[in-house]
Structure 1
Amino acid sequence: MTDHPTIPMPRDGGWAAYTDYSRRLATLLQDERARAEQQAAASRDGQAAVDQITHRLGTQRQHLHQLAATLRLPEPHVGGIAPGPIPDPAEALRRAAAAADAADVAAENAHRRAAQPPLLPGFTPLARNALVYAAAAMLGTFASLLMFAVSPDADLGRIPWQLVPWSLCGLPALAFFAGYLTISLVGQPRIGGGGTRSARAGGVICFVGMPILWFIFIAATRG
């Protein structure tokens, strides 16, 4: 049978010192145990935060790739990031979350801008299209009047009848298709839909408005 070591009893008041050191040792052990539990909890919280930010970055990367494909932009390159001189893991996580928030704001801003057409984004679709068709009609009318002005018949005081088909049909058709093409290229949102080309309104502006202006010009010059 093995004998257990015995602790010598202190003499001359040594028992009080012994119990005092025992209490101190128990307090130190308790504090160390609490500190270890706090570190373990902090480690678990840190790992959970790392897992959360990793999942968020993965979702964000997928969203950026989808947004680039929708906007017909080059695919974003998301490479590795070299570790920075941030010794505090909590501060590093805070900065990573702040960077992810900034990226979300930038992506939302790009999405919002892409939902608006590049041409006159603050206008309603009808107002934008009407303005485009009106501009095309004005250019077509100017071309018609210029053709009328340089015609030899105009110098003789006669109506250049050979220009009438162009003024009443040809140039309005060109103006309509120019406006329609302009709206199709720069007057439509790249995402979200909601675009319209207002072909009926464009037809009225070009095929009705331009002949009216032409007849007004003829009447003014002949009168």
Structure 2
Amino acid sequence: MTEQPGTPMPRDGGWHAYTDHARRLSALMHDERARADQQAAATRDGQAAVDQATQRLAAQRQHLVALAATLRLAEPHVGVVAPSPVPDPQEALRRAAAAADAADTAAAHAHRRAAQPPLLPGVTPLARNALVYTAAATLATFVSLLMFAVSPDADFGRIPWHLVPWSLCGLPALAFFAGYLTISLVGQPRIGGGGTRSARAGGVICFVGMPILWFIFIAATRG
């Protein structure tokens, strides 16, 4: 190799310093590229998480609107979302996901509640309806016995025949319709199937059970 005139040759110490600085610069550039790649990957992951959360919130909003319409409730109002006070984006996304999970849980709970009638939600439809008709028939029977007790004919030991149509037909009909109306108002689920009014069972309880109780009462009082 021919030396160029006027070009000083670096000494050994200067050359080692030069190569050392070159290695450090190369390591710094490698670290910066790795950091830049990590930041780019974190940005892509964050954007994907934001897109996923946005899609989930949109689907959740549609579900809540449909659920409110099914339950015959006012449409939920979703206002402008305020900026998150959490500076860490990952923590903000975690909190948003937790809030969305809580909203899904609440919606599922409301759906389960709506699938059950307000009155006696833990029993079967037949048992619920039988209890309602029985309660109405019991109340009507008490009214019938009270009418007999306060009738002037009872003081003379006579049967108040003018009350017999009420006891055998009128009050059982009122008991039946009272039970039917109660079941229709508070004994039916808002959504889903499974609702029944058990009119046949109500007819047996009111139009058969009440006259039997009436005849038992007459036999007991006349005996």
Q: TM-score range by the shorter chain?
A: over 0.9
C-alpha spacing 1:28/1:143, structure 2 compared with 1 (3 Å): same
Q: TM-score, normalised by structure 1?
A: 0.95
User: How far did residue 70 of structure 1 move?
Assistant: 1.0
| Rounded Cα–Cα distance in structure 1 between residues aligned with 2:127 and 2:121 | 11
* Structure 2 residue aligned with 1:116: 116
The equivalences for 1:76-115 within 5 A come to: 76-115=76-115
| Rounded Cα–Cα distance in structure 1 between residues aligned with 2:87 and 2:95 | 12
* Structure 1 residue aligned with 2:131: 131
* Structure 2 residue aligned with 1:171: 171
| Rounded Cα–Cα distance in structure 1 between residues aligned with 2:153 and 2:48 | 86
C-alpha spacing 1:154/1:12, structure 2 compared with 1 (3 Å): same
* Structure 1 residue aligned with 2:144: 144
Q: CA RMSD in A?
A: 1.2
Per-residue CA deviations over 1:74-132 (Å, capped at 9, x if unaligned) read: 21111122113211000000000000000000000010011110000011100000000
Q: Which amino acid aligns with 2:220?
A: A
The equivalences for 1:1-223 within 5 A come to: 10-223=10-223
3-state SS in 1 of match to 2:159 = coil
User: How far did residue 208 of structure 1 move?
Assistant: 0.1
Per-residue CA deviations over 1:182-201 (Å, capped at 9, x if unaligned) read: 00000001011211100000
Identity of paired residues, percent?
Answer: 85
Per-residue CA deviations over 1:8-35 (Å, capped at 9, x if unaligned) read: 8633520111011001101100100010
User: How far did residue 71 of structure 1 move?
Assistant: 1.0
| Rounded Cα–Cα distance in structure 2 between residues aligned with 1:147 and 1:141 | 10
| Rounded Cα–Cα distance in structure 2 between residues aligned with 1:71 and 1:63 | 12
| Count of matched residue positions in the alignment of Structure 1 and Structure 2 | 217
Q: TM-score, normalised by structure 2?
A: 0.95
Q: Which amino acid aligns with 1:79?
A: G
Per-residue CA deviations over 1:151-202 (Å, capped at 9, x if unaligned) read: 1111111001111111001110010000000000000010112111000000
Show structure 2 runs of 5+ residues with no match: 1-6
Show structure 1 runs of 5+ residues with no match: 1-6
